[in-house]
Structure 1
Amino acid sequence: AALAAMIEANGSLRGDDTVALSRWRKHTAEIEAARRAHIIDAAAVVRFMAWLAQTVPAQSVTEFEAAEQLEALRREHPQYKGPSMPLMSASGPSGAQPHYVPRREGCRRLNDHPIYWMDSGGQYPGASTDNTLTQVLGRPEPKHVLAHTLALKGYVALATARFPAGIQGLRLDSIARQALWQEGMDYDHGTGHGVGAFLNIHEGPYIAPKAGVDSTTPIELGMLITNEPGYYAANDFGVRIESHMVVVAAPQAGFGGFDTISRLPIDPKLIDWSRLDVRERGWLADYHRTVLA
């Protein structure tokens, strides 16, 4: 209080947080740590996806029990240091809440709804992960496939975007929404956020539709940012795709782009392939080759 009073009395100058900006720009060792962490983390999540596909048809599994299973699989790796965030595990109407976290009592069974999404991450030496996958656990309806396909088109559009060096995240946000907007659909959260290196899972800069300090920060080389478009039908279902991207130099001088470093597969049963153009199909095929490598 005394310090605040002194500042008030003597005046202050406001400016960018240079410490935060330097933290948001990852150096080479941090980027390499992130790449390694995503490979380790993806292995646990893919095993979890296989467990879901085998277990849900045979026995009851709740949202909370699914979250516990994924945490148990992550703990099997010696480099896993703990969760990077509360694990979101959402089935059916729960999935219409973008930040839903289940409780042990009163949560839904995955067996009762065909669409399930999970948003989670881990802490590993030098890196933090935060990814979302949407998985079919039954027979999807056309509305599920449409929503997921449109989110996927936005996801690919941002992942492959080229932009002038120093662009603000605010100006990139609409790239991921265009396919949804064409169908009168949208999502009520930002498209991306910075990720800490074995620190907070949410930091700047932000790719978001509203102006703010972190969404007007220039996007610079070495920044690590999420790409997470989705769609949420109130009281019905939700879908989301999320991965991490590193800001890299584009072949064109003075321009930047993204390199996706997450390694989670995208469920083909939730894709309307007729809505993907040649470029989108090609990018998805290349991405899945890196997942399998």
Structure 2
Amino acid sequence: MLNTAVINMDTPRTADLLLKLRNLMKGCKYYPEPIHAYLVPTTDSHNSEYPAECDQRREFISKFTGSRGDVVITDTHACLWTDARYFLQASHEMDSNWTLMKEGLPSTPSQKSWLVQNLPPCSNVGVDAKVISYSVWKDFQSELQLYGHKLVSVDANLIDIIWVDRPLPSKNPIAPLELKYSGKTIGDKMKDVRIHMENMHATILVLSALDEIAWLLNLRGSDIICNPVFFSYVVIAPNSVTVLLNLSKVTSEIKDHFKKEAEDLNLEIAPYENIIDVMTKTFENFTDGFVWLSKDVNCLLASVVPSHRLKTSVTPPAFMKLVKNDVEIQGMKNAHIKDGVAICCYYAWLENAIKTKTVTELSGAKKLEEFRKQQIDFVYPSFETISGFGHHGSIIHYRANKTTDVPITSDALYLCDSGGQYKDGTTDVTRTFHFGTPTEFEKDCYTRVLKGQLKVARMVFPSKIKGNCIDSFARQFLWEVGLDYGHGTGHGVGAYMNVHEPPIGMSYRPFPDDPGLEPGMFLSNEPGYYEEGKFGIRIEDVVLVVPYKPINTSSNCQYLTFETVTWAPKMTKLIKTDMLTKQEIAQLNAYHQKCRDILGPAMEQQNQQEAKEWLWKETEPIASIN
């Protein structure tokens, strides 16, 4: 899955908003001195990749909707930094009051360098300490101090003050995740967490990442769209566990869940807003040992920990949840079978529907969700569907809206990236189809993307190798003709959890906290190619890391490979067969046969005859001509 975007040709003007913000910066009401630059990060108080509507401050002030981007505003400039995935999107969404800073280009300075070059002497750079991570704060602070500037914490978030119709936080319920889906109780998970704490000489552990908390507590929510998380903190002390959340969401069902799965943990529930008081009281009660927080914890929480006790690094649940247990693995496989049925139902319906009526990007996405809703244990989408026809497919993170929505026809390529949250797993699949006659260039590009995807799917590699080392293999066949794509090849995938699960992934950019691949991890495998203004191609499966036995058994090193768990045809009409090797043809034919073997019985059980006939049509074996 790649993050989605709305391309809005009628972007609201931001001049009035910037004027109001700049007046606050000069006014000395929320900081005793004028603020010369104000930082607006994308993240919320939990460093979430996808903030809730109430926390989308960067989007509110800039109108840029992508998931990656940070803003710096001075008295004369409003700048947004984002990476290559979003250059086209940002240029569409932002108005003339803004300057796009293209990260990754040699000519683009970093935010820190730009501030140093453009600020007057002895400037104050303000930020809300609740929405900037401790590690980023330290990085900015040290750089600015070298040049006589100060990074200062502003008493209130200035964006919130000018955001008059800011949405309220979600009141959505929280629900326990049964053991038949989680595979491990809270108590058993906590034992493993405490072992990690002992190894790090940590007496207290504070968890702030929402996905880590939901995983640890075997709870799921929906405070952030498409992400089964809820606003919360957890403070783990030697003799207690304190869970801080919205008390109105604490039902008898949740209390019974805690009693059943965490009876011996002395688990207490406290109001979400009491986190500082709970942390302070815990430090006072336990004066020895380190206090362990994530390095991505917000700066305000880190600031209340005595400096000599503060330890910041990746917290245990972040690594633990990467390696799925046997129940989670089987659940993920089951979810992908159900999802494969829904995908085939959609494409079988779509291919016929566009011949007799108008189906648009939006109505198509809605129909796909309807097919998913027919599957057992479906909860909601795992992200907002990317349904891009023709040149919209070239916008990597496109999401249709009423302004941009166009019919899907047989005249161009159609790229659809979608996924589902099921109680037994999370899915993420992209397929690119052409229901008419593709050009030779489109077929060439599709085949090169497919060859890279097949290459990754059959990779054999040593245990603990980092995904960064695999990324180039997916690009090999595109690079041969001077083509490439501006996103990573894969990301970690949660189990009924966030569809993007760091810190693992496959990308040209290294993941600094990547622990290395090991059995039980799920990742996406999604190379692509995008011809600006014309078409986009992406092929995505979810893969499971599994053991591999090499021919040479003399090595003491464990070897691994990938097992694909996504089942949906790859359009053979788009393939230039003479570009495939015998190995690739055999691999693709074997995959398509498994699609029949695995999805066929499920379709029969659900009486989806049209989908089954379409599946058989799309999975006819390719004959080798080499």
Work out whether the TM-score is over 0.5: yes
Please give the secondary structure, in 1, of the residue aligned with 2:378: coil
Residue in structure 2 matched with residue 217 of structure 1 by the alignment = 515
How many residue pairs get aligned? The number is: 292
Please give the secondary structure, in 2, of the residue aligned with 1:81: strand
Residue in structure 2 matched with residue 51 of structure 1 by the alignment = 349
Distance in 2 between the 1:46 and 1:238 partners? 21
Please tell me whether residue 267 in structure 1 is matched to residue 565 in structure 2: no
Residue in structure 2 matched with residue 12 of structure 1 by the alignment = 310
Q: 1:192 to 1:61 in 2, by over 3 A?
A: same
Q: 1:15 to 1:270 in 2, by over 3 A?
A: same
Please give the secondary structure, in 1, of the residue aligned with 2:451: helix
Distance in 1 between the 2:388 and 2:575 partners? 20
Residue in structure 2 matched with residue 250 of structure 1 by the alignment = 548
Distance in 2 between the 1:82 and 1:219 partners? 29
Q: Which has the larger displacement, 230-239 or 74-83?
A: 74-83
Residue in structure 2 matched with residue 116 of structure 1 by the alignment = 414
Distance in 1 between the 2:535 and 2:519 partners? 36
**2:506 corresponds to which of 185, 204, 207:** 207
Q: 1:165 to 1:101 in 2, by over 3 A?
A: same
Distance in 2 between the 1:151 and 1:17 partners? 36
Please give the secondary structure, in 2, of the residue aligned with 1:69: helix
Percent of aligned positions that are identical:
34
Alignment of 1:169-184 (within 5 A): 169-184=467-482
TM-fit CA distance, 1:32: 0.4
| Kept after mapping to 1: 8 A contact 2:334/2:424 | no
Distance in 2 between the 1:114 and 1:212 partners? 36
Please give the secondary structure, in 2, of the residue aligned with 1:158: helix
**2:589 corresponds to which of 240, 263, 285:** 285
Distance in 2 between the 1:178 and 1:217 partners? 25
Distance in 2 between the 1:230 and 1:28 partners? 32
Distance in 2 between the 1:181 and 1:154 partners? 10
| Kept after mapping to 2: 8 A contact 1:87/1:121 | yes
Please give the secondary structure, in 2, of the residue aligned with 1:13: strand
Deviations 1:24-66 (A, max 9, x none): 1111111100111111111011011111110112222211111
Please give the secondary structure, in 2, of the residue aligned with 1:170: helix
| Kept after mapping to 1: 8 A contact 2:339/2:420 | yes
Distance in 2 between the 1:86 and 1:61 partners? 18
Please give the secondary structure, in 2, of the residue aligned with 1:57: helix
Q: Which has the larger displacement, 12-21 or 269-278?
A: 12-21
Residue in structure 1 matched with residue 491 of structure 2 by the alignment = 193
Please tell me whether residue 31 in structure 1 is matched to residue 335 in structure 2: no
Please tell me whether residue 232 in structure 1 is matched to residue 530 in structure 2: yes
Please give the secondary structure, in 1, of the residue aligned with 2:321: helix
**2:426 corresponds to which of 123, 128, 135:** 128
Considering only aligned residues, what root-mean-square deviation do their CA atoms show, in Å?
1.5
* Letter paired with 2:520: G
* Letter paired with 2:516: P
TM-score normalized with structure 1 length: 0.95
Distance in 2 between the 1:8 and 1:96 partners? 50
* Letter paired with 1:80: F
Please tell me whether residue 145 in structure 1 is matched to residue 438 in structure 2: no
Q: 1:270 to 1:9 in 2, by over 3 A?
A: same
Which runs of 5 or more residues in structure 2 are unaligned? Answer: 1-298, 551-556, 598-626
TM-fit CA distance, 1:6: 3.6
TM-fit CA distance, 1:19: 1.3
Please tell me whether residue 97 in structure 1 is matched to residue 395 in structure 2: yes
Distance in 1 between the 2:317 and 2:311 partners? 16
| Kept after mapping to 1: 8 A contact 2:443/2:576 | yes
4+ runs deviating over 6 angstroms: none
Distance in 1 between the 2:331 and 2:317 partners? 21
